[in-house]
Amino acid sequence: MKPIRTERLILRNWEERDRALFHRINSDERVMEFFPFRRDRTAADAKMDEFRAWIAEDGYGFSAAEIAATGECIGFVGLLETDHVPSLPADTIEIGWRLAPEFWGKGYVTEAAEAWLAYGFEALGVNEIVSFAVAENHRSTAVMKRLGMSADPAGDFDHPDIPDSHPSLKRHVLYRLSRQDWQARKRAAR
């Protein structure tokens, strides 16, 4: 992928130097509060390799987010084709993120996600981008709202990958953003 630059960030493919941070965000109790698992180093390395291969193949994915001024990787933000939500078409594009806690509340996710929305609607030509999270994950749903996404209560679902042993994590809320609504929001911001 060609790196995407925002005001403060570089969104790029994963590099070997990112492995420790990738493991940390996939094993940290606060970051993974709404996930039924934590990844050990081996599993995190395998997932990072998977992300890196998808990005190399498709030109987009859950990419590393790096602070441009320092070169420090802070987590990931990106687009990914999702096929694990039964109520959505197989080629649906989702936007997602995960940052180390010390970078929360600084607007990095919103900044990076705005750039990825532009990429999805302009470069990929998709008609809609979705996002979803555990219903109680108010930090993530607040970002979705800031991005101009709308809740679709009729599309809320029980995530098929969440085991029954974690009932409080099964219910996910769905948010949607159409290209038309994104363009209208962009025009209104000018």
pLDDT at 161: 87
Give pLDDT tens digits for 140-161. Answer: 999 999 999 999 999 999 998 8
Confidence of residue 48 (pLDDT cuts 50, 70, 90): very high
Retrieve residue 89's tokens. 């078409």
CB 59 within 8 A of CB 12: no
Average pLDDT over residues 167-186: 95
Confidence of residue 84 (pLDDT cuts 50, 70, 90): confident
Confidence of residue 114 (pLDDT cuts 50, 70, 90): very high
% of the chain exceeding 90 in pLDDT = 87
Confidence of residue 87 (pLDDT cuts 50, 70, 90): confident
Integer Rg of the chain from CA: 16
Confidence of residue 83 (pLDDT cuts 50, 70, 90): confident
Could you tell me which CATH class the domain 4-189 is placed in?
alpha beta
* pTM of the predicted model over 0.85: yes
Q: Give the C-alpha separation, 53 to 80, whole Å.
A: 12
pLDDT at 160: 87
Q: Give the C-alpha separation, 99 to 36, whole Å.
A: 18
- The closest of 131, 140, 130, 126 to 58, measured between CA atoms, is 126
The residue behind tokens 């996930």 is 35
